Amino acid sequence: MNTSKYADLFLTEGREYLSAINHSLLALERAARGEAEPSDDAVDAIFRAVHTIKGMSATMGYAAVAELSHEMESLLQRVRGGELAIAAPVTDVLFKAADALEHGIEESVAGRAAAVDTREVLSELRGFAPVLAVEAERAPSPAAKAAWSVAAPAGEGKLVRVRLAHDTPLRGVRAFIVVQALRRIGDVASVEPPLDALHADQFGRDFALRLVTTATDGDIERTVRGSGDVAAVRVGEDKTGLAQPATATGNGLTREETKAELVDPARGGGGGGGAGDPRGRSVRIELSRLDSLMDLIGELMITRGRLQELSRRDGDAELAETVTQASRLIGDLRDEIITSRMVPVWQVFDRFPRLVRDASHSLGKQIDFTVEGKDIELDRSMLDEVGEPIVHLLRNAIDHGIESPAERIAAGKPAAGRLLLSAARDRNAVVIRVSDDGKGIDRERVLAKAKHAGLIDPSRVELSDAELVRIIAKPGFSTAEQVTGLSGRGVGVDAVTTRVRLLGGNVDLRSVRGRGTTVTLRLPLTLAIVRAILARVANEQYAIPTTHVRETIELQPHAVSMLRGREVLLHREDVLPLIRLRSVVGLPAANLPELEQAVIVELADKRAALVVDDLIGQQDIVVKQVDQVRNGLRCFSGATILSNGAPALILDVGSLS
């Protein structure tokens, strides 16, 4: 059986189980430190996940992963049985084993299984397990060897008897893997029960075969055991006869074994996929297929806009009605495709508790990490991209923001710092925040470093939050005294702002000395299709994503004033900076309309008035990424094709100043 076609599925499911393992290990560690009550649920959850990975990896033929899973399972079984207490040495080795397991899965799926070296972590795991128990499993008693429940096949060659482990999932697949492994060192002359019966799982745990080979008995046994989930192997003719167990049942198992198979919760009971099984109501779809669907619906929407334009020109009522109906159906199809791409943020957030735990341990800090809004949904492609910026923000908060326990106690704070990662919906955007209760950003130090680097006027005496972001986001800018394994190279905030801008979002920072820092990322729900306001300046049209639009108004000349050498708009009770799009894009200030329009845009809690010649209307636009032109304007995040077939650039509101 060719298992390579299942490799991607194995990788996906393996990552999900590893996420569950890390989540439960964190709960175990808190219990070991006395910060939470010990819970059997966490141990059971880890055991089930490891057991499942063991079965899947054995089925795939990934022997190193299967062996590592088996040893983790043995250690966890001792914890479940009360032989081992949940303490730091146990959780530490399990964390190390989980990392090795992740590496083994990634390498095995990539075809580099031979490069997986688990000897060190296996040694540490076995250091907790009773030697006699391990040897007993690997070398069954003579009585167990004699009690084979299947007849020896006739024919030439060496007789090889195999007994699978009691908890082997998909026994037929495992037996076939053993047969295939033996075919690499000889010719399999006959198999009992026949291969068809093995494929159909119509046997117990025992099977036998005849192997024509020049390999030694030891080589044969090592080959069989290397296939995984093998409890016993015997090579050679029977000396003591074929003793049938007195309690054997028709399926080749003893009654006790049959009972265990039926009630073993790890096996999941009976067959799945029936009418009452929720697994039968969903399918796994490769993200590339969803990307293709999104591209197609994007092109369809451009065509829809063109059809609507032509229908208006033609004036045919029947054509207009048909185009309207088609437009509605295309809109519904778009919504369904976008919805199918939405996934909860926990799929990325769930890996961060482990990251925070490792980072805080390496720095000797205590951190109480909380995650909120896990069920908020975001486009799959957006979620993949936002993970890296969040990693940078968390590392900066741990390294630069939160103080050591001694410093916090001296400042009248709890020894453990608070770190919060949250997600929330805000209209047609998602807001992600990383906040801490640490020492905050030292503005005076940033100001001094910025002056020294020539980034700011030497006469400045303070920095606003917006200026603070712009300065610390400069590539290479850092106030760290030394480079650590976490940060200090001046790339963290730069990487965050660059990536978020490319995603059509923006970054906002708030920091109070001695009280902490909050960084807010505001992101559109999806990258591919967005709602935008179309604006005209001279003969050019531009698209402004509504994610950043609060309202549109007519620009009354009497409402415009000058403040500190800059134009501002007096709007209701606010004073808003005035940004003329003509100046931003470098168009001449000639032939201005009598009455200009203003788009009130907002970034976090900051607002500004963007002045344009005219507002054309709203439209769903398909975002097309464009390469930046050397020395070109940086105020565009992409381009789109309008309903009349003309191109339009999409403004990056976050880049306007």
Task: At 36, list the tokens.
Answer: 């939470």
Q: How many CA within 13 A on the CB side of residue 247? A: 6
β-strands 506-512, 516-524 pairing = antiparallel
> What amino acid is encoded at 268 in this protein?
G
CA distance 321 to 342: 32
pLDDT digit string (tens) for 426-465? 877 889 999 999 998 888 888 888 888 777 777 777 777 7
Phi/psi for 329 (5° steps) reads -65, -40
pLDDT grade for 250, boundaries at 50, 70 and 90: very low
Which tops the pLDDT comparison, 337 or 241? 337
C-alpha angle 644/299/386, rounded to 5°? 115
Mean pLDDT of 499-524: 85
Residue matched to tokens 């020395």: 631
CA separation, residue 306 to residues 311, 528, 648, 649 (Å):
9, 19, 15, 18
pLDDT at 468 over 90: no
pTM (global) more than 0.75: no
Give residue 524's pLDDT. Answer: 81
Mean pLDDT of 182-202: 84
Q: Among the listed ranges 22-36, 52-66, 252-266, which one has the minimum average pLDDT value?
A: 252-266
Give residue 261's pLDDT. Answer: 34
Burial 136-155 (b: 16+ CB within 10 A, else e): eeeebeeeebbbbbbebbee
β-strands 206-212, 158-164 pairing = antiparallel
CA distance 371 to 375: 11
Q: How many CA within 13 A on the CB side of residue 88? A: 4
Task: At 19, list the tokens.
Answer: 């996420």
pLDDT at 274 over 50: no
Give residue 488's pLDDT. Answer: 45
Mean pLDDT of 568-573: 87
β-strands 367-372, 342-344 pairing = unpaired
Contacts of 553 (CB under 8 A, 6+ apart): 571, 597, 598, 600
Q: Among the listed ranges 132-141, 155-164, 200-209, which one has the minimum average pLDDT value?
A: 132-141
The SS3 call for residue 384 is helix
Contacts of 108 (CB under 8 A, 6+ apart): 57, 60, 62, 64, 65, 116
Q: Which of 6, 30, 28 is nearest to 416 (CA)?
A: 30
Which tops the pLDDT comparison, 99 or 82? 99
Mean pLDDT of 478-493: 54
